[in-house]
C-alpha cells in the first residue's frame, strides 16, 4: 500500500495546472465589462484566422435600382467561394444614385449607412454601379476590369503571405441589443508601416428588399448579400499601432456597440481590416460570424 500511496501522490503532483488569470500577461480585462447587465442572454463566439493565408476585402458599390448589380454580385460570390476558396471577404456597400429611395416604385428599404457615404465620397464608388475596390488599393473598378484585376490578385503572393494573425471574441446579447467585440492581432513578421489602423464593420446577409434585375425585372423579395450595416470603428479604421509593430507582438482592442433591432443578428458578420492609415489601403482582412 505504501507504493500505491507514493504513486497517487506523484500523479497528483504532476496532475494539474490551475490557471487563475487566463489573460495574464496577454491583455487587460475588457473595457466593455459591465456593458451588458444580464449576461444570461450572451452568445459568445470565438474566432481565429486560418493560418497560412490572408484574406482580401472586396467592397462592391451597389444599389437597389442597379439592374446589372445582382448578376455581377453573384459573379463575385462565385469567385469568393470557388476560385478563391474563401479568401475573399465580399461586402455590399449601398451608396450613390442607385441606392436612393424611390417610394413611388416600391424601393422603400434604405440600405445606406453613414460609413457607405464616407466610402462613396472618398472613392467615388456608386456613381457607376456595380463597381468594386480590392483592399482599397485603387479607385472602384467596373465589371469589365474585374477579370484582369482578379487574375492578377490570384497570381500574386498576397494570399499566401499573411502578415497578421487575427483572432476575436464576439459577444452578443439580443435581449439588450448589445454587442462586444474583442480583436487580437498578432504580427507574423516585422511590420514596416508607421500608422496602422483597425477597422471593424457589421455586415448582414440575406436582407430581403426590392431589387431591380437585368433579366428578371423587379424582384420584391430579393435577398441582398452581405450588406454593410455599420462601422463599429471609424470608417477607415481606428488608430491601432503607431511607430513599430514587431513580429510576435499581440495587440488587442475591445469595442462595445449597439445592435440595431432591424438586423437579424444570426445573419450578421463582423468584418475586420487592418489598414495603413497614411494611404487608407488595407493590409489584410478577416470575417467571422457575429453569432456561432
Contacts with other proteins by CB under 8 A lie at 3-4, 7-8, 10-27, 29-30, 32-34, 36, 39-42, 44, 46, 48, 165, 167, 169, 171, 180, 182, 184, 186, 250, 254
Residue 126 corresponds to which cell in the numbers above? 456608386
User: Would you give the DSSP letter of residue 122?
Assistant: H
Whether the bond between 160 and the residue before it is cis, its omega within 30 degrees of 0, is no
**What's the closest the beta carbon of residue 44 comes to other proteins, in angstroms?**
5
Nearer to other proteins, 23 or 81 (CB): 23
Residue 21 corresponds to which cell in the numbers above? 488569470
Distance CA 145, CA 83 (A): 17
Nearer to other proteins, 93 or 181 (CB): 181
**What's the closest the beta carbon of residue 182 comes to other proteins, in angstroms?**
7
**What's the closest the beta carbon of residue 238 comes to other proteins, in angstroms?**
19
| Separation in Å, CA 164 to CA 138, 186, 212, 276 | 22, 6, 40, 13
Produce one character per residue of 186-195: b if its CB has 16 or more CB atoms within 10 Å, e if not: bbeeebebee
Nearer to other proteins, 10 or 223 (CB): 10
Nearer to other proteins, 49 or 135 (CB): 49
Nearer to other proteins, 6 or 102 (CB): 6
Q: Tell the burial category of 32 from Cβ atoms under 10 Å away from its Cβ (0-12, 13-18, 19+).
A: middle
**What's the closest the beta carbon of residue 21 comes to other proteins, in angstroms?**
5
**What's the closest the beta carbon of residue 268 comes to other proteins, in angstroms?**
18
Report the candidate in 6, 9, 118, 101 with the shortest Cα–Cα distance to residue 61.
118
**What's the closest the beta carbon of residue 3 comes to other proteins, in angstroms?**
7
**What's the closest the beta carbon of residue 47 comes to other proteins, in angstroms?**
10
Nearer to other proteins, 46 or 258 (CB): 46
A 10 A CB-CB count for 233 gives: 23
| Separation in Å, CA 63 to CA 134, 218, 285 | 19, 13, 24
How would DSSP label each residue in 1-38? -HHHHHHHHHHHHHH----S-TTTTT-PPPTTTTSSS-
Nearer to other proteins, 30 or 109 (CB): 30
Amino acid at each position: 500500500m505504501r507504493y500505491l500511496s507514493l504513486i497517487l501522490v506523484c500523479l497528483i503532483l504532476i496532475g494539474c495546472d490551475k490557471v487563475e488569470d487566463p489573460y495574464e500577461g496577454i491583455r487587460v480585462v475588457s473595457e466593455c465589462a459591465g456593458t451588458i447587465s444580464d449576461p444570461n442572454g450572451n452568445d459568445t463566439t470565438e474566432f481565429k484566422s486560418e493560418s497560412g493565408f490572408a484574406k482580401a476585402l472586396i467592397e462592391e458599390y451597389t444599389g437597389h435600382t442597379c439592374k446589372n448589380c445582382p448578376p455581377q454580385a453573384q459573379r463575385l460570390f462565385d469567385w469568393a467561394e470557388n476560385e478563391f476558396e474563401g479568401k475573399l471577404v465580399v461586402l455590399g456597400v449601398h451608396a450613390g444614385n442607385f441606392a436612393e429611395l424611390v417610394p413611388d416604385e416600391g424601393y422603400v428599404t434604405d440600405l445606406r449607412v453613414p460609413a457607405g457615404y464616407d466610402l462613396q465620397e472618398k472613392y467615388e464608388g456608386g456613381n457607376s454601379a456595380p463597381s468594386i475596390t480590392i483592399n482599397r488599393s485603387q479607385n472602384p473598378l467596373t465589371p469589365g476590369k474585374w477579370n484582369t484585376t482578379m487574375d492578377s490578385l490570384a497570381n500574386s503572393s498576397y494570399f499566401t503571405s499573411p502578415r497578421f494573425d487575427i483572432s476575436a471574441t464576439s459577444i452578443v446579447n439580443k435581449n439588450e441589443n448589445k454587442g462586444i467585440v474583442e480583436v487580437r492581432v498578432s504580427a507574423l513578421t516585422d511590420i514596416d508601416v508607421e500608422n496602422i489602423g483597425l477597422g471593424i464593420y457589421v455586415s448582414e446577409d440575406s436582407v430581403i428588399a426590392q431589387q431591380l434585375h437585368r433579366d428578371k425585372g423587379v424582384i420584391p423579395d430579393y435577398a441582398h448579400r452581405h450588406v454593410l450595416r455599420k462601422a463599429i470603428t471609424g470608417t477607415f479604421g481606428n488608430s491601432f499601432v503607431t511607430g513599430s509593430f514587431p513580429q510576435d507582438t499581440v495587440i488587442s482592442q475591445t469595442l462595445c456597440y449597439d445592435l440595431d433591432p432591424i438586423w437579424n443578428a444570426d445573419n450578421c458578420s463582423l468584418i475586420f481590416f487592418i489598414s495603413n492609415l497614411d494611404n487608407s489601403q488595407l493590409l489584410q482582412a478577416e470575417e467571422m460570424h457575429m453569432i456561432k
